[in-house]
Structure 1
Amino acid sequence: MGYRNHVFTILVTMVLTPLITGDEASSSLVIAPHCTSKCGNVTIPYPFGIEEGCYYDDPDNLKDYPIMKLMCDSGSNPPKLILGDNVPVSNISLKEGEIGINLNMSFNCYSQGESTGSHSTWANLITFTISSTKNMLVATGCDTYAWFTGFRHGEQYYTGCMTKCDSLNSVTDNQCNGVGCCEASIPDGVTNITTTVASFDNHTDVPFNPCSVAFPVATDAFTFLRKNLTQKLGFYSDFPLLPVVFNWGIGRQSCLKAQQQGTCLCKNNTICSGLEPDQDGYRCECKDGFTGNPYLPQGCQDIDECKGANECEKPEYCTNIDGGYNCECPKGYHGNGTRTDGCISSSKAWLKPVIITAGIGASIIIFLVIGFLLHWRNGERRIKQLRETFFRQNGGLILHQKLSRMDALKIFTAQDLENATDKYNETNIIGRGGYGIVYKGIIANNQQVAIKRSLKVDPGQVEQFINEILVLSQINNRNVVRLLGCCLETEVPLLVYEFINNGTLYDHLNDEAKVPLFTWNIRLRIASEVAEVLAYLHTTISTPIIHRDMKSMNILLDECYTAKVADFGASRLVPVDQGQLATMVLGTLGYLDPEYMQTSELTEKSDVYSFGVVLVEILTRKKALSYQRPEVERCLAMHFLLKMKEDRLFDIIDKNIVNSQGDIAQIKKVANLAKWCLFLKGEDRPTMKEVAMELEGIKRMNKHPWHDVKSSYDQANDCEYLLVGIPKDDEGNSGGKDSDLYNPPSFIPSLGGGR
């Protein structure tokens, strides 16, 4: 069966599967007789409803319309149930707290390099979150990359995947393995989802595959077939909607708060339970032995177990009670009256309890003795063996051999770091990223440290992992977060860094309260320090390092606003005889080098591009990628280059830093430098050493000869001295003229017109 028919068959199955069969069962789920209980083949249980008074209207709802109000399109055949902005509903589950909806797919089609049509999928169900266990993100094509965006914890979330192939012969049916088809998992708590798909080369290199396609879909409703890679625009534009599962709950309050305020819908014979940590609201369910709709005012009704299957020895022994039943022996008999422990005559009743009691007592004593001995003999030994296994698996023996020849870093025990973080208490979490979780800790000498629980190390790359730890531990640069040590006794390695206490560059650029103190001089100094670090990593140390995830969130600031480059989780060492590496594309959207994304060949110029984006962030105080901005402004780097081309630079520059003519001159030169870093081809970009030299020259533009002298300031006033800012001449404009924007220094290529 083809992909199209296969998915359509499953979709119809989901749509035609009602929650409860029978009109009588359906009517028992609504709150009032006038409420519609079904639309087509879909049952509508309260708190969902169509008519006024038939659905739950959350008093804390900030939207213009009730979240759980539905519509029934009776003009469709069969009638179609609609939620919100014309989103079709296939089923509603009270027990699971799930709602099935149908979405179309995103596609981007070409013919001979020219676009023939495209579409992006989105679904905003407000407080409903897409199920992380019942769905997956899929992209198909031989020249395709897709990304999935939404909101999680109030912030934008991104994930995605890419797939390339040279011919259909390399693609296998039913295998979505990255060749012709790729998958990405979806985290809990994501709302307001959008799926976008694009092509690397407009499908010019793969004419047999005209379309890139992506979509979220229920995990059991998708089968990949390679023949569908040859389908054209019409196939996808007419394709039936795909099923997707969302989670729902009641309101935005917890069970306890709703019960205290008397607004909780969970009434008689029900249990109120909270949702996942990433989702607001609560859910009701019937207690064991009760059935019905737990959201209705009358609550759940008792089940008469005696009318159905039960464990009683005979039907007449069964007595129904609220929430359960009892099996009782008739007069003259003793026992439990169950199939496994039936009724016996009273004349023999004394023997059975004696035998049972003696057997249970002896079994308990034997079990306790054996359990104590096993725990005493094997408990500590097993823990020790497990830690030794992890130590060897994570390369501890190799690291010990190399440390015996150098004083590189300290190896901590698992107990050391458990004590430092109060057993990894969640209150000590100071950061989460794509490569691990970071905890704040205090080690034995009362030194504050940052402890990173990294991703699991591939056993086949242990030696490379150890070599990178040793290289990073020997980096001697005041503007790099220092690696103090590691622990290899746990399943995943733990890395111990120095603790930096003043947040990140991203925090300071995006916090309105911090902006007045975050002057142009401070920003320029931070940019210069980061450029020096990257130049140091690329050219100074014996084994060059490519950072690969340079962004404002990985630039920490201390109390003196000194930059500290962090997070080398994605970094790669560059062999001295190899100028580029073929790697899996890693990094952050908005900062990724387009050439690296297309070729998967990592070079030092990839860091230059990412640093160029950071320079633009410093100049504009805008996020590198934001779906809150208009489409033409969504990608900051592209928007910045467009403004430069239009000679409208100051339309985008942060007004907080335009304080004098001298600042304007520096800003223009930094903008030129950023533009150079953002050239499409890596060979046209500067090296980081050239970038660092140019920034140092820009810093000196407004300095008086006496500026470097700190007069009577002592060491205690260093931070205050740095925050005063760089003094300017009497007119405040000694940094240059407006024409400097298109007159870069001699070693920067011309930026007008051009490439």
Structure 2
Amino acid sequence: MILKLVIHFIILVIWFIHVQVSAQDYLQVAKPGCDSKCGNLQIPFPFGMNTSECYLGKWFEIECRNTSTYQTPYLKSIGLQVTSIDVQQGTVTINNSIYRNNCGTRDSTPVNRSLEGSPFVYSQEHNKFVAAGCNIIAILQINGSEGSGCVSICDQDFKVDDIGKMELENSDCNGKSCCQNSLPPYLKEYSTEVKGLKENETDGECSYAMVVQQVGLYSYYTRKSYYFPVNGEMKDVDVVPVVLEWEIPNNLTLKLPPDNLSYCSDTNVTSSLYKRSGQRCSCKYGYSYDSNPYVEGGCSDNDDHPFYRNSPSNVPISVIKGISTSFGSIILLLILWRVFKVTKKIIMKKFREKFFKRNGGLLLQQKLSSSEVNMDKVKLFSLKELEKATDNFNSNRVLGKGGQATVYKGMLIDGTIVAVKKFKVQGKIEEFINEFVILSQINHRNVVKLLGSCLETKIPLLVYEFIPNGNLFEFLHLQNEDMPLTWNMRLRIAIEVAGALFYLHSAASQPIYHKDIKSTNILLDEKYRAKVADFGTSRMISIDVTHLTTVVQGTFGYLDPEFFQTSQFTEKSDVYSFGVVLVELLTGQKPITLLSQEEAKSLASYFIMCVEENCVFDIIDERVMKEGEKCYIMKVVNLASRCLELNGKRRPTMREITLELEAIRKLENESNAQGNGEFVRSEDYKSWDDNSIISEIMSTIDQSSRTTILNDVHIVTM
């Protein structure tokens, strides 16, 4: 142990001496004999210029275009200017054009640039879909279907010219004159479209839509933030930076350098259909900006620091000999090492305390002292434990990404499979604490279970039970023949979600409004039973409060029109969102659909129109029509239309909805039993029909004190 400490300090002394006596030598980035620069940009292999020996396949060819004053690199395969290349991260930044609408002579056609067949995709992590304009819906389309979108509104005193004067770099694009949304994964081709919230509303008003790079700012002393690296006013901007992720495709033969300083790992950057669509390589002993694992001499054989690279051997050897002959120097090094270890321990402790406070630890302690958090049901995980469970948060373990967090799949030491939620934005600590407090008090079979949290990191972590079969949106709209979504399953899922919301509204110790009910927030377990998830925007309110006033937020297509107008969220706002989910289950259609090239309508409004015109069976899913009886389907249709009433007071409560859905299922089961001559219980209901959801929840409510016996609610262990 002492010898190991001595060796470490000898290396440390060598480093300091080497800084003084050796000039910095840069690592090799391009193949020998190939040009490594175009203008001010380094061109690392597998990218290259001039001859095919200098780059790995046609997709990686860089064209260096000359002008009278400077040279500009272009990615020849797609004809766009390159501004940076990072071989370690597997990214290349390009300048991409934006889409202008109603901007007069500066109008541009919708962007539709295809990367199909290439090793590139538009990065979901580093880019956002952004739109600027007044009272518009911006849509990012993939093969004619909606892939993403956002809504931008303006105040009445906002002038049209103000959009053109806006600087994207200084805007957070939160929905006021500018909005943003995440990109779908594996995006290779897209087009943009801008429409008014109302017909002819934006005639003559200029608006913009684009995919653009979003850069994160990191600091120990300030909160994490993001900005768009676009300089100048919108009216003067023609191109914006966009990040492409890349990999070495399987059809290209890659030979690693013989120095054994780099290694490659399998990736699926460009395709979700295969576990391995390509590979990426890294340096074994760390890297710096100009490291390149793809060429000989591109990686250091010592450490990440630039002063270790290709150092002359005579200087370190002489230093080592001098230190080894001095016993006094070794003793001094040991003392210094001990001081270093103690100092490091103190610094790490300070950092953990800082992270704990910044991640809302003090607020969480207040919740604990006030008994708002049930610590018997949650655990505080260490960072080391979760890093081991998720393979250091490996990108291959990602289950899903959202605007505020990324969810990873992990396995604890005891073999338990979990989902670890890693928040992206440090400024959203309230959402982390809010979700932690709410879920720690909920114990319901149709609500995702919180297992614990970790506060030892820059970004807070939450740990949930793992739900293996994805979300309802994917299962509903990407159905396969191996596991079809039957009418019985749809009705059961609707009952389970309704029961969970009834529990949140009525049976919890304090009423809870979810505020973001949608099919992507309804997960399906191993038996395809529903689990309501994502409580980051949810709120607990006092029993005597009837509504919650907040900023307009939610998901377009599910948002209560009353909430959009008044900013007052009530339990009936959750009812409206549930109604949209119920219509999704009935029709198999997405919440937002393009009825024509000129008009975008929500599924909810289209459904209500069909009900009023008595043609609703024309849009009901074929499987539903085939398997269900029309009279019971019509009962669900009528219930859905009542949930979508524009006047919230006319909508039923979640208790009434749950009762009605259970009654429909019971009547249909009895009808089927009479038709078959005997009653055969579906396997889907075996563990659920012993007690109805209503009777189970109502048994947990003390009518006099409105308190909840949570232990009795969780009848079926998930």
TM-score with structure 2 setting the length: 0.61
Partner of 2:131: 139
Partner of 2:518: 551
Q: Distance in 2 between matches of 1:46 and 1:424?
A: 30
Partner of 1:571: 538
Look up the equivalent residue of 2:131 and give its one-letter code: A
Q: Distance in 1 between matches of 2:466 and 2:323?
A: 67
Cα offsets for 1:570-600 (capped at 9, x unmatched):
2123455654444344444443445545665
SS state at 1:698 partner: helix
Q: Distance in 2 between matches of 1:663 and 1:568?
A: 36
Partner of 2:339: 370
Q: Does 1:677 align with 2:643?
A: yes
| Match 1:128 to one of 97, 120, 124 | 120
Native 8 Å contact 1:453 1:494 kept in 2: yes
Q: Distance in 1 between matches of 2:213 and 2:465?
A: 44
Map residues 46-85 of structure 1 onto 2, 5 A cutoff: 67=59
Map residues 164-563 of structure 1 onto 2, 5 A cutoff: 164-168=154-158, 174=167, 175-178=170-173, 180-181=177-178, 190-200=187-197, 210-217=205-212, 222-223=230-231, 225=233, 241-247=238-244, 249=246, 251-253=248-250, 263-264=253-254, 279=269, 281=278, 361=330, 363-372=332-341, 374=343, 378=346, 389=357, 393-403=361-371, 408-410=374-376, 412=378, 414-415=380-381, 422-425=388-391, 431-434=399-402, 436=405, 437=407, 439=409, 452=421, 461=430, 465=433, 472-475=439-442, 477-483=444-450, 495=462, 504-506=471-473, 508-509=475-476, 510-516=478-484, 518-539=485-506, 541=508, 543-557=510-524, 562-563=529-530
Native 8 Å contact 2:110 2:193 kept in 1: yes
Native 8 Å contact 1:508 1:514 kept in 2: no
Cα offsets for 1:196-236 (capped at 9, x unmatched):
444445796x99x92232223467873454xx7xxxxxxx7
* Per-residue deviation, 1:380: 8.8
Native 8 Å contact 2:34 2:54 kept in 1: no
Q: Does 1:691 align with 2:657?
A: yes
* Per-residue deviation, 1:357: 5.8
Q: Distance in 1 between matches of 2:80 and 2:185?
A: 21
Native 8 Å contact 1:217 1:242 kept in 2: no
* Per-residue deviation, 1:430: 8.0
Native 8 Å contact 2:448 2:465 kept in 1: yes
1:120/1:284 Cα in 2 relative to 1: closer, same or farther (>3 Å)? same
Look up the equivalent residue of 1:244 and give its one-letter code: P
| Match 2:570 to one of 598, 603, 607 | 603
Cα offsets for 1:420-476 (capped at 9, x unmatched):
8854445896843535436566698x98776655677869959x946x755554456
* Per-residue deviation, 1:125: 2.2
Partner of 2:670: 704
Partner of 1:89: 80
Q: Distance in 1 between matches of 2:533 and 2:343?
A: 46
1:365/1:109 Cα in 2 relative to 1: closer, same or farther (>3 Å)? same
Look up the equivalent residue of 1:121 and give its one-letter code: V
Q: Distance in 2 between matches of 1:443 and 1:106?
A: 50
Q: Distance in 2 between matches of 1:723 and 1:413?
A: 28
Q: Distance in 2 between matches of 1:300 and 1:380?
A: 37
Look up the equivalent residue of 1:663 and give its one-letter code: E
* Per-residue deviation, 1:527: 1.2
Cα offsets for 1:36-78 (capped at 9, x unmatched):
x99xxxx999968899x899796xxxxxxx756899999xxx9
SS state at 1:191 partner: coil
Native 8 Å contact 2:390 2:408 kept in 1: no
Native 8 Å contact 1:139 1:162 kept in 2: yes
User: How many residue pairs get matched?
Assistant: 602
Native 8 Å contact 1:390 1:490 kept in 2: no
SS state at 1:669 partner: helix
Native 8 Å contact 1:273 1:284 kept in 2: yes
SS state at 2:585 partner: helix
1:358/1:601 Cα in 2 relative to 1: closer, same or farther (>3 Å)? same
Q: Distance in 2 between matches of 1:365 and 1:481?
A: 52
1:625/1:721 Cα in 2 relative to 1: closer, same or farther (>3 Å)? same
TM-score with structure 1 setting the length: 0.59
Cα offsets for 1:617-664 (capped at 9, x unmatched):
32233444589999979965466556656755455433333346x623
Native 8 Å contact 2:122 2:244 kept in 1: yes
Larger Rg: 1
State the Cα RMSD in Å: 6.3
1:356/1:601 Cα in 2 relative to 1: closer, same or farther (>3 Å)? farther
Native 8 Å contact 2:514 2:535 kept in 1: yes
Cα offsets for 1:528-560 (capped at 9, x unmatched):
232233234335556332212212333344566
1:389/1:570 Cα in 2 relative to 1: closer, same or farther (>3 Å)? closer
Look up the equivalent residue of 2:230 and give its one-letter code: F
* Per-residue deviation, 1:482: 4.8
1:356/1:185 Cα in 2 relative to 1: closer, same or farther (>3 Å)? farther
Native 8 Å contact 2:584 2:590 kept in 1: yes
Q: Distance in 1 between matches of 2:282 and 2:475?
A: 46
Q: Distance in 2 between matches of 1:102 and 1:489?
A: 38
1:407/1:138 Cα in 2 relative to 1: closer, same or farther (>3 Å)? closer
Q: Does 1:668 align with 2:663?
A: no
1:415/1:147 Cα in 2 relative to 1: closer, same or farther (>3 Å)? same
SS state at 1:568 partner: coil
Q: Distance in 2 between matches of 1:374 and 1:707?
A: 75
1:392/1:706 Cα in 2 relative to 1: closer, same or farther (>3 Å)? closer
Q: Distance in 2 between matches of 1:671 and 1:212?
A: 38
Q: Distance in 2 between matches of 1:265 and 1:576?
A: 67
Consecutive unaligned residues of structure 2, counting only runs of 5 or more, are 1-29, 215-227, 271-277, 285-289, 299-306, 690-718
Look up the equivalent residue of 1:368 and give its one-letter code: W
Greater mean alpha carbon deviation, residues 688-697 or residues 619-628: 619-628
* Per-residue deviation, 1:398: 1.7
* Per-residue deviation, 1:242: 1.1
* Per-residue deviation, 1:192: 2.4
Native 8 Å contact 2:127 2:213 kept in 1: yes
Look up the equivalent residue of 2:111 and give its one-letter code: T
Q: Distance in 2 between matches of 1:128 and 1:547?
A: 38
SS state at 1:192 partner: coil
Q: Distance in 2 between matches of 1:416 and 1:649?
A: 53
Cα offsets for 1:155-197 (capped at 9, x unmatched):
9964757453343599996532445445668799653244444
Consecutive unaligned residues of structure 1, counting only runs of 5 or more, are 1-24, 32-36, 59-65, 229-235, 303-310, 312-322, 329-334, 342-351, 726-755
Partner of 1:106: 99
SS state at 2:370 partner: helix
Native 8 Å contact 2:120 2:247 kept in 1: no
Look up the equivalent residue of 1:89 and give its one-letter code: L
Q: Distance in 2 between matches of 1:92 and 1:407?
A: 49
